[in-house]
């Protein structure tokens, strides 16, 4: 018998509401037979993308790990019991702690964990229990520059403003493709419709990107830009606003420090001076600035391409500064701050955890910490370089850094040098294949779902809680239980008595359980909700439009329009501008990434439903660049950087700027134990990225703007 149930898609940041038809398939297995968007959902309003159709395919994937595994001497994996797996992991980690100190054990958290509130809570408790500063995550391969900008400008790393799309009249998108991502640090399901609504009310959407993206195709304007030059563009726009007295910073209504210094800094980067390096004419730059300044509600949304580049931190700072100068921060139609039902930013403030930067540095290269984490670009060398505090133990949680970190090939060679590695993961992927033990968590529809993090970036205040629809496959366990159990057992096996506080915290958390913790956070949050109250509104709870709340969030702090760390880093940008002005870049190719609507993380490439059709892992190249090299679509080409090379099919298209090539991330899984993914044509873009090519200020990996060669 079939039945309809409501659920939430957790395969990307959009958090769409789903109507799921459950029943027995032809194979007799109880499963999801049909996936539809929930038209009554208060937020997603029936929107659904192709990924959602495969949500149950992950749960039932034959390659999924569903019982604890131990790697044998032959390199194969054999099943073991949970007690064996957790006790052995705890004993070996404790031994490394006691012999080499806590910093010899590292953790890595991948971005899929953000979709599991139990995983988020458990990973925090595990990290606190371990007490190591060798913490890594996907943050430093993604949004770290945005968080650093918020930390320096607003005094809190979690105060990430999002465009108020329901009232925006002018949206400037720099290095983002929200039609495909449905936001990304801007939770907004059905983004194409939302952009069309901006245009329908007389607004304007402008896209700045080296590729004519899916978003650019529905925008009013698109301008090709030289990869890595976005900071120059934004500085020239800010200079225009100052020089033409178009600023309206007083509308922000908060104390702002450093406006004059920002104006002086921007004056060094006039539109006339930067136009060649940016690739956009000076008159166009000035017009874009005027339109942004004069619009009744404007927002600058700078995302992945703006973050993961050589000047990612400067670009992220200037994206906020532009909206400060024009008076569009914390203003309806501009960039605003959601009031989520679980207000993590406010909670962090109460606990004195607004963030940190450069409190310590990595052992080998001296890269700065941010929020207690080190850049993932330094992970491989921290494992392979001998010396005190060398990383010898490693815990990965829902992450595949061999695929997602720069120069993944180097990390692939480094992991076997560890004394011990344990992974909490669904798959034996490029990273976890090196683990000594794999601990399998539940997935998706096997667990309750509440978007504890993503609602903090939603373009409307909403909340939805859905319960598990299926029992765990095999002996898979809740992430929260795995991580807290591992942390507690490790502490119990360590020598000495200096860990009583951590043990007490973990014991109390385990007794409460993740659902009761979330319920407590909801009850004490700004909307005074509960799990029970949310379950009574299964299509979600609409908590209203975004409202000005910056005064409350600043807690007496002033907005820093020109933080010293960013102003000092302009010298590096100045040097790059001088270099670009002197060079014509003839024949040079710069590599950028791209994202597909049918993909997000590498494990989605193991699902037949999402990998049908023509190959998407192709190298995009402009027709003139292809002609210069006597190449055409369908040719197999060699993509080479100073760090490595891959072979990949070529796709010639005028959607990419001349002098730029594009390869999507997450492919090239020949090293993983994933039968479907291994059979698809593809190459890992991070086999040619460079762990030494960074945003030097933050240590964030620069995946965009890598110099490459393409040959037959």
pLDDT 10s digits, 673-698 = 787 777 776 888 999 999 999 999 99
What is the sign, positive or negative, of the torsion defined by CA atoms of 314, 194, 218, 237? Answer: negative
Give the separation between CA 672 and CA 651, rounded to whole angstroms: 26
Query: What are the residue ranges spanned by the domains of the chain?
Result: 3-60, 69-132+375-451+462-542, 145-340+556-566, 584-711
Q: What pLDDT is attached to residue 565?
A: 98
Q: How far apart are CA 453 and CA 178, in angstroms?
A: 18
Task: Read off the pLDDT of residues 467-502 as tens digits, 9 standing for 90 and up.
Answer: 999 999 999 999 999 999 999 999 999 987 667 888
Q: Note the pLDDT of residue 616.
A: 87
The DSSP secondary-structure symbol of 548 reads -
Encode pLDDT of 195-241 as tens digits: 999 999 999 999 999 999 999 999 999 999 999 999 999 999 999 99
Encoding tokens for residue 147? 């968080």
**Rounded CA gap, 385 and 435, in Å?**
20
Query: ∠ CA(105), CA(106), CA(108), 5° rounding?
Result: 155
| Span 252-298, pLDDT tens digits | 999 999 999 999 999 999 999 999 999 999 999 999 999 999 999 99
| Both tokens assigned to 481 | 């239980």
User: Helix or strand or coil: residue 363?
Assistant: coil
Q: What is the mean pLDDT of the chain?
A: 95
Backbone φ and ψ of 656, nearest 5°: -110, 145
In the block, residue with structure tokens 């997602």 = 404
Is 584-711 in CATH node 2.40.40.20? Answer: yes
The count of C-alpha atoms lying within 13 angstroms of the C-alpha of 510, restricted to the half-sphere facing its C-beta, is 16
Residues contacting residue 418 through CB under 8 Å, at least 6 positions apart: 383, 391, 392, 393, 394, 434
Q: Which of 456, 450, 457, 458 is nearest to 480 (CA)?
A: 450
pLDDT at 582: 65
Number of other CB atoms surrounding residue 654 within 10 Å? 11
With contact defined as beta carbons under 8 Å apart, do 599 and 664 qualify?
Answer: yes
**Residue that wins the pLDDT comparison between 670 and 178:** 178
d(CA 116, CA 673): 24
Residue 658 CB-half CA count within 13 A: 11
The closest alpha carbon to 326, from 296, 306, 283, 284, belongs to: 296
Distance, in Å, from the CA atom of 522 to the CA atom of 565, rounded to the nearest integer, reads: 37
Strand-pair category, 221-223 with 204-208: parallel
pLDDT at position 584 is 62
Are 637 and 710 in contact by the 8 Å Cβ rule? The answer is yes
Residue 7: its H or E element: strand 3-8
Structure tokens, 277: 């390096």
Mean pLDDT computed over 598-627: 85
Domain range 145-340+556-566, CATH class = alpha beta
For 3-60, CATH number out of 2.30.30, 2.20.25, 1.20.140, 1.25.40 equals 2.20.25
Query: Residue 673 is encoded by which pair of tokens?
Result: 């134990």
Report the phi/psi class of residue 445: left, alpha or beta, with left for phi > 0 and alpha for psi in -120 to 50: alpha
Residue with tokens 């459950």: 22
Q: Which numeric CATH code is attached to 69-132+375-451+462-542?
A: 3.40.50.740
CB 78 within 8 A of CB 69: yes
What is the C-alpha separation between 361 and 609, in angstroms, rounded? Answer: 44
> CB-based contacts of 57: which residues, under 8 Å, 6+ apart?
607, 608, 609, 610
Residues 6 or more apart whose CB falls under 8 angstroms from that of 206 comprise: 170, 171, 172, 173, 219, 220, 221, 222, 223, 288, 291
* Span 454-459, average pLDDT: 97
């Amino acid at each position: 018998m079939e039945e309809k149930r409501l659920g939430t898609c957790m395969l990307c940041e959009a958090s769409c509401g789903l109507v799921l038809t459950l029943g027995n398939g032809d194979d007799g297995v109880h499963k999801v037979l049909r996936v539809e968007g929930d038209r009554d959902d208060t937020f997603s309003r029936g929107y659904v993308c192709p990924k959602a159709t495969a949500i149950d395919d992950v749960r039932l994937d034959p390659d999924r790990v569903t019982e604890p595994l131990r790697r044998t001497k032959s390199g194969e994996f054999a099943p073991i019991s949970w007690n064996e797996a957790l006790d052995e992991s705890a004993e070996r980690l404790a031994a490394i702690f006691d012999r080499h100190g806590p910093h010899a054990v590292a953790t890595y958290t991948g971005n899929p964990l953000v979709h599991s509130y139990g995983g988020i809570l458990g990973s925090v408790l595990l990290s606190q229990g371990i007490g190591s500063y060798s913490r890594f995550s996907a943050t430093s391969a993604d949004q770290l520059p945005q968080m650093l900008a918020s930390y320096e400008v607003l005094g809190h790393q979690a105060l990430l403003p999002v465009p108020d799309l329901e009232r925006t009249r002018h949206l400037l998108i720099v290095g983002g493709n929200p039609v495909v991502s449905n936001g990304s640090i801007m939770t907004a399901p059905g983004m194409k419709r939302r952009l069309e609504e901006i245009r329908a009310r007389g607004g304007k959407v402008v896209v700045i990107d080296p590729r004519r993206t899916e978003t650019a195709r529905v925008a009013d304007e698109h301008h090709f830009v030289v990869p890595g030059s976005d900071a120059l563009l934004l500085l020239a726009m800010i200079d225009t606003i100052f020089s033409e007295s178009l600023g309206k910073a007083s509308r922000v209504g908060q104390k702002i420090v450093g406006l004059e210094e920002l104006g002086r800094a921007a004056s060094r980067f006039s539109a006339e001076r930067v136009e060649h390096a940016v690739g956009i004419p000076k008159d166009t730059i000035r017009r874009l600035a005027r339109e942004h300044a004069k619009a009744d509600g404007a927002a600058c949304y700078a995302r992945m391409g703006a973050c993961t580049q050589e000047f990612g931190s400067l670009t992220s700072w200037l994206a906020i500064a532009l909206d400060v100068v024009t008076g569009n921060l914390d203003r309806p139609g501009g960039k605003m701050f959601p009031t989520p039902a679980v207000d993590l930013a406010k909670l962090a403030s109460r606990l004195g955890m607004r963030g940190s930067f450069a409190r310590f540095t990595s052992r080998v290269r001296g890269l700065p910490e941010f929020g207690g984490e080190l850049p993932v670009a330094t992970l491989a060398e921290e494992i392979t370089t001998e010396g005190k505090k060398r990383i010898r133990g490693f815990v990965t949680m829902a992450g595949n850094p061999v695929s997602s970190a720069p120069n993944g090939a180097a990390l692939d060679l480094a992991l076997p040098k560890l004394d011990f590695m344990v992974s909490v993961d669904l798959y034996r992927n490029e990273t976890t294949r090196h683990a000594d033990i794999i601990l399998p968590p539940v997935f998706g529809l096997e667990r309750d779902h509440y978007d504890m993090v993503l609602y903090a970036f939603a373009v409307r205040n909403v909340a939805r809680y859905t319960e598990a629809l299926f029992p765990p496959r095999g002996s898979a366990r809740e992430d929260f239980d795995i991580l807290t159990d591992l942390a507690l057992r490790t502490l119990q096996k360590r020598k000495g008595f200096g860990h009583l506080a951590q043990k007490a915290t973990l014991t109390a958390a385990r007794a409460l359980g993740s659902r009761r913790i979330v319920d407590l956070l909801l009850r004490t949050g700004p909307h005074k909700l509960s799990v029970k109250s949310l379950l009574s509104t299964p299509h979600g709870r609409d908590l209203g439009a975004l409202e000005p709340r910056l005064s409350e969030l600043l807690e007496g702090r002033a907005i820093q329009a020109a933080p010293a760390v960013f102003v000092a880093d302009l010298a590096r940008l100045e040097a790059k501008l001088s270099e670009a002005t002197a060079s014509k870049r003839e024949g040079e190719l710069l590599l950028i990434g791209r994202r597909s609507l049918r993909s997000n993380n590498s494990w989605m490439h193991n699902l037949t439903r999402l990998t049908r059709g023509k190959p998407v892992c192709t190298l995009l190249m402009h027709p003139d660049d292809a002609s210069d090299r006597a190449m055409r679509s369908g040719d197999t080409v060699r993509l080479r950087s100073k760090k490595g090379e891959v072979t990949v099919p070529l796709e010639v298209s005028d959607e990419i700027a001349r002098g730029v090539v594009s390869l999507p991330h997450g492919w090239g899984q020949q090293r993983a134990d994933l039968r479907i993914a291994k059979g698809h044509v593809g190459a890992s873009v991070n086999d040619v990225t460079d762990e030494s090519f960074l945003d030097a200020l933050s240590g964030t990996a620069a995946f965009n703007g890598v110099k490459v060669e393409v040959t037959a």
